[in-house]
Copies of this chain bind each other. A is one copy, B any other.
Amino acid sequence: MVVKSELKLIKSLQQKKYRNEHGLFVVEGKKTLEEVLGSKIKPYKLFALDPKSVTQKSIQTVQISSRELSQISSLKNPNGYLGVFYIPTSKAQTTSDWILVVDGIQDPGNLGTIIRLCDWFGVRDIICSLDTVDCYNPKVLQATMGSIARVNIKYTPLKEFLKKTQLPIYGTFMDGENINTSKLPKKGIVIMGNEGKGISRAVAQQCTHKLTIPQSGESTTESLNVASAAAILLHEIRR
C-alpha cells in the first residue's frame, strides 16, 4: 500500500514544474530503469509489484498494487516497476572534448535519441537552451534507453554560455562548408537546432563555423531529421 499523498506526488512528476519543485523524476521501462539503478544517480524510492524480485538492496523498495501502479505510470502497460530518483546537479563542462549544444529541440524522441548518440560517441556534456524539452520527461527518458545516466546535461541560456567559451562553435546550415571535406578539430562545440526552425538567429550569429551535410540525388525541399543530422555530425567528429 502506498499512501495517497505519495501517489499524488509521483503522478505530479509527469509535469516538469513538479519535477523541478521536488527535484525528483520517474523512470520506467526495464532497460532505462536498470541503467539508472546501476548509475551514480541517487535513488529516492522504487515501487514494485513484487519487491522480492528486486536485487538492489541499497534502495528503499515499496510494494505497490497494479491498480496503484497504473494510476501513477505514464505507460499504457506498466511493467511492474517504477523508480523515483533525485535529479542530479550538473557538473562543470569539460574543456578538452566536444560539447553538444541543443537549441530548442521540442520532440522528446529526438532529444532522447541525441542523448543516446552522445553516449555512444563519448560526448559527455550536453548543454540545452531553456526552451528545449525537459530531459527528465518520461518520453525522453524512454528514448535514451538508459544513456541519461552517463551524460552530463545542463539547461542554461545559450547566449551567455557561448559568449564565455574559447572553443570553436559549429552549426549546420544550408549554405555551410561540406562536412565531407571540412577538417574538424579535436574539441569544439556543435549545435543542433529546432526541428522546424533550425538554429535560432541569435545563436547562429555566435557560430564561428558553418557546416552542411550534403544531399544526394534530386534536390527537394526536404530536410534531415535533427536526430539523423546529429548522428552524422557526431560520427564525423569522431572519424
Question: Chain A residues in contact with chain B, CB under 8 A?
Answer: 109, 113, 116-117, 119-124, 145-147, 150, 180, 213-218, 220, 222, 224-225, 227-229, 231-232, 235, 238-239
Contacts and interface: CB of A to CB of B under 8 A. Distances in A.
Contact of A124 (B119, B150, B217, B224): B217
B228 A113 contact: yes
Looking at A113, A120, A122, the one whose CB has the most chain B CB atoms below 10 A away is A120
Given A109-B109, A231-B228, A238 B222 contact: no
A239 B232 CA distance: 11
Copies in the complex: 2
Contacts of A113: 225, 227-228
A218 B120 CA distance: 8
B180 A239 contact: yes
B217 A117 contact: no
Contact of A228 (B117, B180, B215, B220): B117
A222 B147 contact: yes
